[in-house]
Chain A
Amino acid sequence: MISVKHLAKSFDGLAVLSDVNAEINAGEVISVIGPSGTGKSTFLRCLNLLERPSAGEIRIDGIDVLAPDTDVRLLRQKMGMVFQSFNLFSHLMVIENVILGPMHLLHLDRKTAVARGMELLDSVGLAAKAHAFPDELSGGQKQRVAIARTLAMKPEIVLFDEPTSALDPTMVSEVLAVIRKLASQGMTMMIVTHEMRFARDVSSRIFYMDDGTIYEDGSPEQIFNHPKREKTRAFIHKISLFEYLVRRDDFDIYQFNAELEAFSIKHLLNQQSILNTQLICEEMLCNILLPSTTMVNLSIACSEENGQVDLSFNYQSGEGNPLANDDDDTMLSRTIVSNLTREQHFNREHNRATLKMTLR
């Protein structure tokens, strides 16, 4: 349906997209993920010419979008877009927002447009707010109206540009629910998002964008679980890695615990796992390692797949595995750590020791 060849876009000499190639077919739900500034939104906005590409070709249903005689407006009517900042028309009521396009562009009469509009609002759960003004709605409600407005134009494809990034976490789920429903109805969609779990669940395809191009393209399983290429892996990995440099002389355990807790919550760990992780860290750091070493590189990886939590302690040492010691001072701590973890693995190369373990 959409074919993109060697798409490039520069802003003020800075190349944001350098060579993007993609084929998007009807019925696909593609999530575009990647680090910030890699041109995900730019790519999306090039498709409906909100940004003008510096080079390359975009064809929608075979029509060259960049040709001078192309009726861009007509093409745009076939593509819907949902924005991060909703962009509802603030002087119009909700229902008016929804019927504006259909009436002026699809030339529907008012009655039909209103009827259809009400249906759509109903499908996003906001029929009751038909006569409200955008400034009277919450963020999640606004975005759902925005989706209804887009759907009113009967688009062939809907582009979502970070639809939940501006939302309070409590409202994210209601919007994601609507998008999920759309996907299940077979709508072709391209979604730029940071919601990894959501991206996994709903997409048929994942574009990982990096280096000004689509770095890796595959199914969610492929990308999230077995990322092939290095940057993909780093990205996937990074987002579930908690790294912390612990210094003996200014270790603020409160801050550490708070950050650890935040990371854990983000990765949907349950409360007990969180406490256990904290306990392991406390025992390891406070009682086992820091008495004898000044710095510890701690990293905790949380796997999206199975929720597995891997801890890694890296430090300078000339000794062996501290868990294998037998002194009385550390006995309690060692016991606790041993009981709460499995697969403890110690490795020392020269002066650097790495102790890895997995939370039970």
Chain B
Amino acid sequence: MADWFTLAAVFLLLSIAVALVRCWRGPGPVERIMAAQLAGTGVIGVAVVLGAARRDAAMLDAALIGTLLAAVAVTAFARSAARPGDRPDGSG
């Protein structure tokens, strides 16, 4: 069973890598931050899967903290995105 969890963790890691490629290429600030958020979601998934594989409930706490603080980062970005170019629809 733990092997399947590890396999899932590897798959999730690879999906994080793809999200990071999007984050690198951009092109705009919104794409970068959304890709970073997607990578963060992947990291939370890996933490949950690792916790299941090793039967360690404390790893779920790490996933919870990641979830809470990812919301803070994206809120801080949305606050600073008052310039027209940063809005997805460009309406500013």
Determine if chain A interacts with chain B.
Answer: no
B contact set with A: CB distance below 8 Å: none
A contact set with B: CB distance below 8 Å: none
